[in-house]
Amino acid sequence: MLEISTGKIVRVIMLTREYGPDNVHLADYIASLNDDEKMNLVALMWVGRGSFDAEELEEAKAEARREATAPTEAYLSGIPGLAEHLESGLEALGIDVSEAEDRF
């Protein structure tokens, strides 16, 4: 189970699409998240890019916690296709974001 709201994930997706993955708006927003939310965001991105299966979400979260050596905002800003990976991760977990996206 993800420990970050769908709305926050959608906000990251929208900021990435609007400003690009290496912008200050996205970095500031990710930096404002708590450590659990950041870990969940990284794990979701890994599921979305195929590094982990949806069934391995808990393992991905544990790995994200262990591997957190750089600021999450710096790590995620270097990921090409960040928005697409997050969307794919949500789809893999069976989470529909269409309603949340409509609010942004």
Is the residue at 10 inside a domain?
yes
**Which residues constitute the domain of residue 15?**
6-102
Query: What is the rounded distance in angstroms from the CA atom of residue 58 to the CA atom of residue 92?
Result: 14
Is the residue at 1 inside a domain?
no
Using pLDDT thresholds of 50, 70 and 90, give the confidence band for residue 91: very high
- Tell me how many domains the chain contains: 1
Is the residue at 34 inside a domain?
yes
Using pLDDT thresholds of 50, 70 and 90, give the confidence band for residue 96: confident
Say whether pLDDT at 102 is over 60. no
> Model pTM?
0.91
Work out the number of other CB atoms within 10 angstroms of the CB of residue 5: 12
Longest dimension (CA), the chain: 35
Give the residue with greater pLDDT, 101 vs 38. Answer: 38
Is the residue at 40 inside a domain?
yes
For residue range 6-56, list pLDDT tens digits in order: 999 999 999 999 999 889 999 999 999 999 999 999 999 999 999 999 999
Give the residue with greater pLDDT, 57 vs 103. Answer: 57
Query: What is the rounded distance in angstroms from the CA atom of residue 103 to the CA atom of residue 27?
Result: 21
For residue range 63-83, list pLDDT tens digits in order: 999 998 889 999 998 898 999
Task: Please give the full DSSP string across 32-72, using - where no structure is assigned.
Answer: HS-HHHHHHHHHHHHHHHTSS-GGGHHHHHHHHHHH--S-H
